Amino acid sequence: ALDAAVFQFTGGTSGLPKAAVLTHRNLVANVTQIRAWVPSMQPAGEKMLLALPAFHVYGMTVGMLISLSMGGELVQVADPRNVGHILQVIDRERITFYPGVPAMYIALLNHPDLARYDLRSIRVCLSGGAPLPKEVAQQFATVTGGRLVEGYGMSESSPLTIGNPVFGDARAGSVGLPFPSTEIAIVALEKGDDGDYPPVTPGSAGELLVRGPQVMRGYYADPTATAEAIDAQGWLHTGDIAVMDADGYVAIVDRKKDLIIASGYNIVPREVEEVLFMHPKVLEAAVVGVADAKRGETVKAYVVLKAGQQATVDQIRTFCKENLAPYKVPTLVEFCAELPKTQVGKVLRRVLKNEDDGPTVADRP
């Protein structure tokens, strides 16, 4: 059970990939946890659509292993970007369970032929890998009648550790509650005088720590990185900034590495992105911090507009000014045809940061 089953490379969205060693026990534990979290799943009665690559931990566990464990029917789609084909498959095969990432659901809901297909067979969809905009979850429920709930995980935890209740109180903007047999803690970003990271109070932001049977053995041939990720008490330091409310629901604020510090202010990219998603002409958006001579860093937004829509930098910034504190408003806005993503649809922020050569006249308002 403790032997290595998979060397799962991390996504590399904010740095170089590392090989997380997942054991047989890790994978069996996470499959058991997920099935307990979605009790409505019918053994031998589910049709699951796998549009995620099975070599990725999300597709492997939440798609392939869940289906195999319960004798379900697994329908695979080779190209997750062929949204028209996915719509056809859901309609024709009467898919009931469709795990994915936000980019996949956004593309599906904005497909020009969406109204031609009957998607009412879908009962449950689990979204992970990236923040799920509230508007997307609400629109998906309207179109399909099913539940689209956000969960949280990472390669190092097989992957899932937290999820919104599928048929209970799912809270928009939250990734939910800890899975069975999973402990979580939220601690300060800086060590205290005793050398430990003190816990924060409910409602305060800090780094999310997780502990449970699904947490990896360590990184392959990298004891230094393993010691940095898993402490002596077995807590996995996720590198994600999170907030827990009084009821135990967790909201992911952003990656610790992605936090923007401008003129001494901490700016969370996800908060700015949520506002951009509210703009009626915006399909997708990603926000990064770029070097600025005066502020240290400044906020830059990469924006993808919906098909047939047009907008100006001034219009985007004006909308942000109406919904954000002044220091959080993007100084720079760049329109692009698409955002760089991994094969499972996670935005590659490091690519956006590396591609940025500094402000241009066109970017500046």
Exposed, middle or buried, 69 (CB in 10 Å: 0-12/13-18/19+)?
A: middle
pLDDT in tens, 55-88: 999 999 999 999 999 999 999 999 888 999 999 9
Superfamily of chain region 259-355: ANL, C-terminal domain (3.30.300.30)
Q: How many angstroms separate the CA atoms of 200 and 207, rounded?
A: 9
Strand partners, 218: 21
User: Which pTM was predicted?
Assistant: 0.80
Sequence ranges of the chain with CATH classification 3.40.50.12780? 4-255
Report the alpha-carbon distance of residue 60 to residue 216 in Å, rounded.
15
Q: For residue 221, what are the contacts with CB-CB under 8 A and spacing of at least 6? A: 19
Instruction: For the chain, give every residue range classified as CATH 3.30.300.30.
Output: 259-355
Element (H, E) at 269: helix 269-278
Alpha carbon 38 to its chain's center? 19
What is the model's pLDDT at position 365?
33
Q: Environment class of residue 58 by beta-carbon count within 10 Å: exposed (0-12), middle (13-18) or buried (19+)?
A: buried
Could you report the per-residue pLDDT of 123-143, keeping only the tens digit for each? 999 999 878 888 899 999 999
Residues 308-318: pLDDT tens digits? 999 999 999 99
Q: Give per-residue pLDDT as tens, 246-300.
A: 999 999 988 888 889 898 888 989 899 999 999 999 999 999 999 998 889 999 9
Q: 278-309 burial, b if ≥16 CB within 10 A, otherwise e? A: ebeebbbbbbbbbebeebebbbbbbbbbeeee
**Least trusted range by pLDDT, from 287-291, 316-320, 328-332, 350-354:** 350-354
Rounded Cα distance between 203 and 250, Å, is 10
What value does the mean pLDDT take over residues 13-34? 91
Judge whether residue 235 has pLDDT over 50: yes
The burial of 16, by beta-carbon neighbours within 10 Å (0-12 exposed, 13-18 middle, 19 or more buried), is given as exposed
Residue 319 has what pLDDT?
98
The domain over range 4-255 is classified in CATH as 3.40.50.12780: yes
Quick one: pLDDT at residue 360? 37
Please report the DSSP string for 282-295 in residue order: EEEEEEEEEEETTT
Closest CA relative to residue 81, chosen from 261, 285, 345: 345
Q: What token pair was written down for 260?
A: 């923007």
